[in-house]
A and B are shown apart, each in its own frame.
Chain A
Amino acid sequence: NAGVTQTPKFQVLKTGQSMTLQCAQDMNHNSMYWYRQDPGMGLRLIYYSASEGTTDKGEVPNGYNVSRLNKREFSLRLESAAPSQTSVYFCASRPPEQGSYEQYFGPGTRLTVT
């Protein structure tokens, strides 16, 4: 049981390049999330997927697209990377039940855009 996995762990891009961050969970969770964390700030939600087949914008969606490929996988795409997207990106998932269930986080992807 690997939990939430993210690839790659580190990435350096040049301005204008594109890339896809991959996320997968093996806990049969319905909901999945993408956050970014900038220095001195908490995590901010980029996009989320409440269930397979649905995606919705979070607080900071500009410059990103997502795909919920199946129940396990939720990818984040940067079409044309900008230096402002230099950040640490976290994927998370949550069980479908209501209540106290916390979000489970992946290890993060550290992205630098030069």
Chain B
Amino acid sequence: AQKITQTQPGMFVQEKEAVTLDCTYDTSDPSYGLFWYKQPSSGEMIFLIYQGSYDQQNATEGRYSLNFQKARKSANLVISASQLGDSAMYFCAMRGMIYNQGGKLIFGQGTELSVKP
């Protein structure tokens, strides 16, 4: 079975500071991918960043980086220099690559981030 856990229902961060959103996962698939999506109050799902389980380096996309610790089964999202526009719900998701027919994603419960001016 696959599972994604996000233990922080809500987070606050001061503008321009960095923030880490936690994500832990469990899977029996030997190869998998981890994704982070942002959902602003307008409701759309925006892809942020991807990490493959066999990638040697942690993924980075602009102000977003993924702190991937395979042994601990964690894939935390780090947002540097927070901006007011970063206020949103953030979802961690996983896709097994070997045993997952159809490329299905499993989502965590989400973390609501609020950036304070």
Residues of chain A at the chain B interface (Cβ within 8 Å): 31, 33, 35, 40-45, 48-50, 56, 58, 88, 90, 92, 94, 98-100, 102-105, 107-108, 110
Q: Contacts A42-B4, A42-B91 given: A48-B104 contact, CB under 8 Å? A: yes
B18 to chain A, nearest CB (A): 24
- Expressed in whole angstroms, the Cα–Cα distance for A33 and B95 within the complex equals 13
Beyond A40-B9, A58-B104, 9 additional pairs, beta carbon < 8 A: A31-B102, A41-B110, A42-B107, A45-B104, A50-B102, A56-B101, A99-B52, A100-B52, A105-B37
Residues from chain A with a CB closer than 8 A to the CB of B50 are 100, 102
* Number of CB contacts from chain A to chain B under 8 A: 60
Residues from chain B with a CB closer than 8 A to the CB of A35 are 107
A105 close to B44 (CB less than 8 A): yes
What count of chain B residues pass the 8 Å CB interface test? 25
B43 close to A45 (CB less than 8 A): no
- Expressed in whole angstroms, the Cα–Cα distance for A55 and B51 within the complex equals 28
B105 contacts the other chain (Cβ, under 8 Å)?
yes
Residues from chain A with a CB closer than 8 A to the CB of B102 are 31, 48-50, 56
Q: Contacts A98-B97, A105-B45 given: A45-B105 contact, CB under 8 Å? A: yes
B98 to chain A, nearest CB (A): 10
- Expressed in whole angstroms, the Cα–Cα distance for A82 and B60 within the complex equals 43
